[in-house]
Structure 1
């Protein structure tokens, strides 16, 4: 049941009204040069997300030796990245979905930058948190982690369900409690008039907290703990094997720095802008704010390319299988080229 009466919502616009008054630009407007450029650069990102995640996901699916909890989390992350690629990047940024005479297109246009974007970005960041949790358990409780246990499998199933279901539920929360209402004939959500600004402000701050700040804190805590435990283990080894400790510590430091650093560098600017814009939109002028949001969102989305590459590189089994697959492809291509050249002679 909605907490806000329907007559207290902002009015729903209708494209048919504008078309009946010959305002066809509301639907059939040509793209500007800037929009075309944005579409091109997002197309490049779309291909990069698809290829990098398909490669890692394909290797995990077809190599039985990789069917373990660590690879399962990475594979689920790749699946989330691919779904985000097709459900947000392709329709919203590449194809430039906008007002239409079809209700489904208008509904999807309304949900894309709000519900869909939040759900999948939050889902991907939750996966990154889960991977850090898995690394933490693996290094702090190695005996329990390496045991085949139904409780451990159940724990990972629960983690995956939380990663997928919780962001989806929270993303639809403003619609469930009656802050927003879907308008089928225009690409613009209707909002509750009562405490409209406060509701919008609270939602976007909560959005940034759940989507970015909370996963960042959790990930940094787990990876710092992983680094400290790895350093402690290396010091113990150093007692019997001189010269090993600095190399092990350096490797652990690099791994933590790259994983945390790439995530923070790509995600932080966009989320800071979101909070600043909601708290006081007058701080940044309108056109500058639009350009900043567009390019910072673009930079943040490169995390969907970086994450499978980073986690694939730091997973020894996964890395060796990917390298073997690439080498096999190159050798088969070289043989085909050589055979073709010999036949042509």
Structure 2
């Protein structure tokens, strides 16, 4: 007897192509929600970080080694929003890759390069803040604009070289040829990474993160000691040099706290992805695809979070945003407007 129930047709990424990947179809309502959430994150990363870069580069008062590092960090996050998130959004919602195998490799390369660049920037910023808080008067002679330029160069060159070598030489999937062949299908963009390179990725995340944790722990310890010292000597008459040193130390501590929040947000955003990568590499890629996508998007959203952190903690950034959005930066001499950093 023939069955009265027919099996639902399997949807493919490319219906008329042999070897096409299977498409996981979402309901129309779910697709709208996912595109809204992912699209909002992409737009926030683009326009938020564009505001950060414009603020630092336009207003002369913000031309400092630390702020140049912040602008370069914003550039890395901006590129994540421009070259990574929109295409990952289509991949995540449609469960298919429609942009070709070559662009898949380029997309994966950009993904790793820009995210690692963000990590390196944050590590150098933590070093900058440590020097500024522990020795605020000598800091301007130690961490100069040329030194900041060297840090920025390292933060870009090393991640780009690393990701290029890993993905364009194919060393990432050495020894995994059978698995790669089994996973390969038309309309897929699944990049397999073997245990050796996953371990290297983990170390590239762990070592700078450990440096940041150690430095910020010392920063807050020193900041606490400085606050106690200022409180105990507050009733005494201070010389002008001591008063100036106290004001500088207070400003640097405030900046360190803000950037410490940025580092914590980065670590929280990256931990799920790093843990998932280790589990997949050492336990036979057992993580469901949707878990992997969630972990990826948590890391992507970190690129959109930094401008929100700056807007919440930095009065100068909020004032700069008002000037930019109102069009006042188009006027002559707008670059010399005071943003009241103190």
Tell whether the structures are fold-level matches, with TM greater than 0.5.
yes
Structure 2 spans left out of the alignment, 5+ residues? 1-12, 174-180, 236-245, 328-342
Q: Is 1:128–2:122 an aligned residue pair?
A: yes
Q: Identify the residue that residue 342 of structure 1 maps to in structure 2.
A: none
Q: Is 1:277–2:280 an aligned residue pair?
A: yes
Do the aligned partners of 2:219 and 2:256 also contact (CA within 8 Å) in 1?
A: no
Q: Identify the residue that residue 177 of structure 2 maps to in structure 1.
A: none
Question: 1:42 & 1:22 partners in 2: Cα distance?
Answer: 29
| 1:78 to partner: Cα distance | 1.1
TM-score of the superposed pair, with normalisation by structure 2: 0.70
Q: Identify the residue that residue 239 of structure 1 maps to in structure 2.
A: 232
| 1:81 to partner: Cα distance | 0.8
Q: Is 1:171–2:167 an aligned residue pair?
A: no
- RMSD, aligned CA: 3.9
Question: 2:273 & 2:117 partners in 1: Cα distance?
Answer: 17
SS of 1:23's equivalent in the other structure is coil
Aligned length: 289
Q: Identify the residue that residue 309 of structure 1 maps to in structure 2.
A: 308
Question: 1:153 & 1:215 partners in 2: Cα distance?
Answer: 22
Please list the CA deviations of residues 175-218 of structure 1 after superposition, one character each: whole Å capped at 9, or x if unmatched.
5665269x9x9667899xxxxx9x701111211321x3223212
- Cα separation, partners in 2 of 1:141 and 1:108, compared to 1, 3 Å: same
Structure 2 counterparts to residues 1-345 of structure 1, below 5 A: 22-23=16-17, 26=20, 32-33=26-27, 37-94=33-90, 105-112=100-107, 114-147=108-141, 152-175=144-167, 178-179=170-171, 200-210=194-204, 212-241=205-234, 255=258, 258-281=261-284, 284=286, 289-311=288-310, 313-315=312-314, 317-322=316-321
- Cα separation, partners in 2 of 1:273 and 1:29, compared to 1, 3 Å: closer
Do the aligned partners of 1:57 and 1:75 also contact (CA within 8 Å) in 2?
A: yes
Structure 1 spans left out of the alignment, 5+ residues? 1-17, 192-196, 330-345
- Cα separation, partners in 2 of 1:257 and 1:74, compared to 1, 3 Å: closer
Moved more, 119-128 or 311-320: 311-320
Question: 2:113 & 2:120 partners in 1: Cα distance?
Answer: 10
TM-score of the superposed pair, with normalisation by structure 1: 0.69
Please list the CA deviations of residues 233-287 of structure 1 after superposition, one character each: whole Å capped at 9, or x if unmatched.
2122122216xx9xx7x978964763343223222122111111111036x4x5x
Question: 1:130 & 1:61 partners in 2: Cα distance?
Answer: 19
Do the aligned partners of 1:227 and 1:252 also contact (CA within 8 Å) in 2?
A: no
SS of 1:302's equivalent in the other structure is helix
| 1:295 to partner: Cα distance | 1.3
